């Protein structure tokens, strides 16, 4: 008797993609389980877009494989399960919202009632039902973004690729898009989300993969990533009433560094703060301010790639 | 300050190939085409007028005249149909076969020297003479008059010394000529179908290039990626775009000919089958051109510049701007490399010559065949949009 193992929504296995001398993806492996939301973070040129386009079937790997529910990326069977929302506003500007959804639904092979249902769901989901008959070029930037997302989902895919869906939108529209993504998750979709905004990844994604130079250099949830990069260390910032010159030797003697008038100490236990305060009191230094800072995803990204996320 | 603005303008122009083509290459290309047609690169380029000769008289005078006409450098005169190498010589033209040949567009004019011409070949005025019949196709308004003039000149040189019938008046010319338009005499016709086809095809090409350009817009916006990531193959997408473009072209031509029927009294409805066949073939061909233009271009601006250059050039040598019979022979042949020439020839057969639909086979065959080949080339270039 053979046991059939259910295929996972997305399995990327040792994918390599080269463009001439440039290796854009250098051996990426990823498994995204059902109903997960994977945040794919990486600086510009890290290989994110190539990987996303590979999942969408628009880039063929030189080595390795990409499977969507067990079907090779780019195959009709994989395409039926996959919804791709590109970063660009990939819409027909002279068609209405409904006409755009109808066009992309038909391109996905929908007809009749299934098409009508898909369009109705999309208009409702993107809060565009009252603008269904409006031509795209008359919509606001936020509405176009929402329609751009909806156009990738008319066929109700189980795996959704969202490539920087909030680029260039105002904070209000961004919140609306977050609501849409959370709604999608609530309905059971598996999501792969790329962004340049760390707070989006923190809010929406349960797993984050950091990609740089074509490789996944870290993967896990936020806590795991911080733990992997910084262990249990925290950063204590202390400011003193006395001048910097007077405190420099004291800070150095306790393994700290001075940066912009504040002393930084790496600690692993909060109780170490009390020790620092006692020592300062004993040595006659008046402490003005103490802050305990835990590393966040931004720190992790900086630590791993040496670059800010938005560089 | 002004110099900075000027310098910026030239810097931008230097990097904009499309604007460079439109600024420098297109004017030179056009100047060259018009120069070749009207300026005459050399006298050898002047078009010789094709004329058919029928000698029913077989008299010494008529034979001298035929000899002169055959040797006239301005005429491309023939007494019998041309045959391919190795085939037996065809019989001489008769009055009937020459008239049919002119009607079918094989030559713009025919001269028929009647029996009795040799008795009194030349004279002046109204004296009774057997007139030479000049049959011409008024779709070429120049050729008939040119042949009439050349006939008088050659008669004067070849028949000098023969008896003159009457010298009272010179209103009839040296030899009497009876001129007849073999096309237009049955019913009133105009050149309107030629212009409807010529101008129509030129603008169809512009429309097709714009329709093809939507592929480039979609490529730039990312919509093409999205479409191709769905269940749409590149071949399906290209065929769909071409079908749209071809239908649009058919609608444009239909509107153009309906307008010609309404305003210029073109007899569209009695030529409907031929019109439909030619319109479908023409629409298909120009649509394929739009697809090729889009697939070889990288940006919309580039497609616009290349398209304008090609369309205006094709329209000039293909006969959309002025009839090809004005052009030197080499350029008339070059015109056959354009869709314009084949479309115009087909519409002329339908509306001018009243030819049956089966006679459209060469034009329809070339337009459809070339359209398929051009589409396949476009499909090959469109691989750049497929998965990499």
- Parallel/antiparallel/unpaired status of strands A190-194 and A287-293: unpaired
With beta carbons less than 8 A apart as the criterion, state whether B136 and B179 touch: yes
Is the sign of the CA dihedral B342, B347, B352, B353 positive or negative?
Answer: positive
Res. B94: pLDDT tops 80: yes
Please enumerate in sequence order all residues whose Cβ is within 8 A of that of B5, keeping only pairs 6 or more positions apart, or say none. Answer: none
Is the sign of the CA dihedral B70, B75, B80, B84 positive or negative?
Answer: positive
* Mean per-residue pLDDT over chain A, rounded: 87
Res. A129: pLDDT tops 70: yes
Percent of chain A beyond pLDDT 70? 95
Least confident of A90-104, A141-155, B67-81, B276-290: B67-81
* Mean per-residue pLDDT over chain B, rounded: 84
Alpha-carbon distance A276 to nearest alpha carbon in chain B (angstroms)? 57
Separation of CA B90 from chain center: 28
For residue A226, the SS3 value is helix
According to DSSP, the residues that pair with B181 across neighbouring strands are B136
A61-94 pLDDT, tens digit per residue, is 999 999 999 999 988 899 889 999 998 899 999 9
What is the spatial distance between Cα B384 and Cα B294, in angstroms, rounded to a whole number?
12
With beta carbons less than 8 A apart as the criterion, state whether A276 and A253 touch: no
pLDDT of residue B124: 57
Mean pLDDT of B258-285: 91
Domain ranges of chain B: 45-181, 189-385
Phi-psi region of B116 (alpha: psi -120 to 50; beta: other; left: phi over 0): left
pLDDT confidence tier of residue B373, bands split at 50, 70 and 90: very high
User: Who among B225, B231, B388 is closest to A76 (CB)?
Assistant: B231
- A3 DSSP 8-state letter: P
Tokens 């262990």 found at = A231
**CB-based contact (8 Å) between B236 and chain A?**
no
pLDDT of residue B161: 64
Q: Which of chain B's residues have a Cβ under 8 Å away from the Cβ of A79? A: 229-231
Please enumerate in sequence order all residues whose Cβ is within 8 A of that of B277, keeping only pairs 6 or more positions apart, or say none. Answer: B357, B360, B364
Res. A304: pLDDT tops 80: no
Percent of chain B beyond pLDDT 70? 89
Structure tokens at A110: 């929908």
Alpha-carbon distance A75 to nearest alpha carbon in chain B (angstroms)? 9
Give the neighbor-by-neighbor strand order of the sheet with B109-113.
Answer: B75-78, B49-55, B109-113, B132-136, B177-181
Res. A255: pLDDT tops 50: yes
pLDDT confidence tier of residue B188, bands split at 50, 70 and 90: very low
pLDDT of residue B183: 73
A35-63 pLDDT, tens digit per residue, is 999 999 888 888 888 999 999 999 999 99
pLDDT confidence tier of residue A283, bands split at 50, 70 and 90: confident
According to DSSP, the residues that pair with A266 across neighbouring strands are A235
Q: Which of chain B's residues have a Cβ under 8 Å away from the Cβ of A50? A: none
Q: Which of chain B's residues have a Cβ under 8 Å away from the Cβ of A108? A: 230-231
B115-159 pLDDT, tens digit per residue, is 888 877 776 555 566 788 899 887 777 788 888 888 888 888 887
pLDDT of residue A257: 79
A292-303 pLDDT, tens digit per residue, is 877 777 777 777
Which residue of B lies nearest to A77 if distances are taken between CA atoms?
A: B231
End-to-end CA distance of chain B: 47
- A47 DSSP 8-state letter: S
Confidence (pTM): 0.74
pLDDT confidence tier of residue B366, bands split at 50, 70 and 90: very high
Residues in chain A: 311
Q: Which residue has the higher pLDDT, B122 or A104?
A: A104
Q: Does domain B45-181 correspond to CATH entry 3.40.1710?
A: yes
Please enumerate in sequence order all residues whose Cβ is within 8 A of that of B167, keeping only pairs 6 or more positions apart, or say none. Answer: B123, B124, B125
Q: CATH classification of A10-227, choosing from 3.40.50.300, 3.40.50.720, 3.40.50.620, 3.40.50.10420? A: 3.40.50.300
pLDDT confidence tier of residue B265, bands split at 50, 70 and 90: confident
pLDDT of residue A122: 95
Best residue in B226, B233, B241 for a mutation probing chain A (most A CBs within 10 Å): B226
Give the neighbor-by-neighbor strand order of the sheet with A262-267.
Answer: A257-259, A262-267, A234-240, A287-293
Tokens 């008939």 found at = B144
Res. A260: pLDDT tops 60: yes
Is the sign of the CA dihedral B209, B211, B212, B214 positive or negative?
Answer: positive
Q: Which of chain B's residues have a Cβ under 8 Å away from the Cβ of A22? A: none
pLDDT of residue B169: 40
Mean pLDDT of B352-361: 89
Which residue of A lies nearest to B237 if distances are taken between CA atoms?
A: A107
Tokens 């800010």 found at = A308
Which residue of A lies nearest to B387 if distances are taken between CA atoms?
A: A58
pLDDT of residue B11: 82
pLDDT of residue A311: 52
Which residue of A lies nearest to B217 if distances are taken between CA atoms?
A: A92
B191-219 pLDDT, tens digit per residue, is 777 888 888 899 999 989 988 888 998 99
Q: Which of chain A's residues have a Cβ under 8 Å away from the Cβ of B228? A: 58
B31-53 pLDDT, tens digit per residue, is 777 777 666 544 545 568 889 99
Detail the DSSP E strand segments found in chain B. Answer: 49-55, 75-78, 109-113, 132-136, 177-181
User: Who among B223, B225, B230 is closest to A91 (CB)?
Assistant: B223
Structure tokens at B347: 């519409």
* CB-based burial label for B83 (10 Å; 0-12, 13-18, 19+): exposed
- B163 DSSP 8-state letter: P
Residues in chain B: 388
* CB-based burial label for A215 (10 Å; 0-12, 13-18, 19+): middle
Alpha-carbon distance B287 to nearest alpha carbon in chain A (angstroms)? 21
pLDDT of residue B165: 52
Res. B187: pLDDT tops 70: no
Structure tokens at A144: 């176009």
Least confident of B123-127, B258-262, B310-314, B369-373: B123-127
Best residue in B213, B223, B236, B300 for a mutation probing chain A (most A CBs within 10 Å): B223
What is the spatial distance between Cα B146 and Cα B297, in angstroms, rounded to a whole number?
46
Domain ranges of chain A: 10-227, 234-294
* CB-based burial label for B229 (10 Å; 0-12, 13-18, 19+): buried
């Amino acid at each position: 008797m053979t046991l059939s193992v259910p295929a996972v929504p997305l399995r990327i296995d040792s994918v390599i993609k080269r463009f001439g001398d440039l290796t854009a993806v250098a051996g990426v492996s990823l498994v995204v389980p059902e109903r997960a939301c994977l945040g794919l973070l990486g600086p510009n040129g890290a290989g994110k877009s190539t990987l996303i386009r590979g999942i969408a079937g628009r880039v063929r790997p030189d080595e390795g494989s990409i499977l969507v529910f067990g079907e090779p990326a780019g195959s009709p069977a994989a395409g039926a399960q996959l919804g791709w929302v590109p970063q660009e506003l990939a819409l027909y500007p002279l068609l209405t919202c409904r006409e755009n959804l109808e066009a992309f639904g038909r391109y996905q092979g929908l007809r009749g009632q299934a098409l009508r249902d898909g369009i109705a769901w999309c208009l409702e989901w993107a809060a565009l039902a009252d603008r269904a008959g409006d031509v795209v070029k008359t919509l606001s930037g936020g509405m176009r973004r929402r329609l751009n997302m909806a156009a990738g989902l008319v066929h109700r895919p189980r795996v959704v690729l969202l490539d920087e869906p909030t680029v260039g939108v105002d904070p209000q529209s961004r919140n609306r898009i977050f609501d849409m993504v959370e709604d999608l998750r609530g309905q059971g979709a598996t999501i792969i989300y790329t962004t340049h905004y760390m707070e989006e990844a923190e809010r929406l994604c349960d797993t984050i993969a950091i990609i740089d130079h074509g490789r996944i250099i870290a993967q896990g949830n936020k806590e795991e990533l911080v733990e992997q990069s910084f262990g249990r260390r925290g950063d204590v910032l202390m400011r003193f009433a006395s001048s910097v010159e007077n405190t420099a030797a004291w800070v150095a003697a306790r393994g700290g560094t001075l940066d912009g008038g504040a002393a930084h100490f790496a600690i692993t236990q909060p109780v170490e703060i009390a020790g620092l305060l006692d020592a300062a009191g004993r040595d006659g230094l008046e402490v003005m301010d103490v802050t305990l800072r835990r590393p966040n995803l931004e720190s992790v990204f900086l630590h791993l790639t040496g670059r800010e996320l938005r560089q | 300050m002004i110099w900075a603005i000027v310098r910026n303008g030239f810097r931008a122009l230097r990097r904009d190939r499309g604007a460079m083509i439109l600024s420098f290459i297109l004017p030179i290309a056009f100047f060259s085409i018009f120069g070749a047609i009207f300026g005459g690169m050399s006298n050898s380029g002047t078009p010789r007028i094709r004329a058919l000769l029928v000698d029913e008289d077989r008299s010494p005078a008529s034979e001298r005249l035929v000899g002169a006409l055959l040797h006239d450098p301005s005429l491309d005169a023939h007494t019998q149909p041309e045959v391919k190498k190795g085939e037996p010589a065809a019989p001489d033209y008769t009055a009937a076969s020459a008239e049919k040949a002119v009607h079918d567009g094989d030559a713009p004019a025919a001269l028929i020297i009647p029996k009795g011409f040799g008795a009194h070949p030349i004279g002046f005025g109204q004296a009774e003479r057997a007139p030479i019949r000049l049959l011409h196709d008024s779709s070429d308004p120049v050729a008939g008059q040119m042949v009439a003039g050349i006939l008088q000149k050659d008669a004067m040189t070849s028949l000098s010394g023969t008896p003159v019938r009457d010298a009272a008046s010179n209103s009839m010319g040296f030899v009497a000529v009876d001129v007849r338009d073999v096309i237009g005499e049955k019913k009133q016709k105009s050149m309107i179908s030629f212009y409807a086809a010529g101008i129509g095809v030129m603008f169809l090409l512009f429309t097709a290039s714009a329709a093809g350009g939507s592929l480039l817009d979609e490529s730039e916006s990312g919509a093409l990626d999205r479409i191709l990531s769905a269940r749409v193959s590149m071949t399906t997408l290209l065929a769909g775009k071409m079908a749209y473009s071809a239908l649009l072209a058919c609608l444009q031509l239909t509107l153009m000919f309906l307008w010609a029927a309404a305003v210029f009294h073109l007899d569209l409805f009695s030529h409907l089958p031929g019109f439909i066949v030619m319109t479908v073939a023409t629409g298909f061909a120009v649509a394929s051109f739009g697809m090729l233009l889009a697939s070889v271009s990288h940006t919309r601006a580039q497609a616009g510049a290349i398209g304008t250059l090609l369309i205006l050039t094709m329209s000039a040598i293909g006969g959309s701007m002025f009839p090809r019979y004005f052009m030197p022979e080499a350029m008339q042949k070059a015109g056959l490399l354009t869709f314009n020439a084949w479309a115009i020839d087909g519409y002329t057969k339908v509306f001018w010559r009243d030819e049956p639909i089966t006679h459209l086979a060469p034009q329809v065959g070339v337009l459809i065949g070339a359209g398929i080949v051009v589409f396949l080339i476009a499909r090959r270039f469109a691989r750049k949009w497929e998965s990499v």
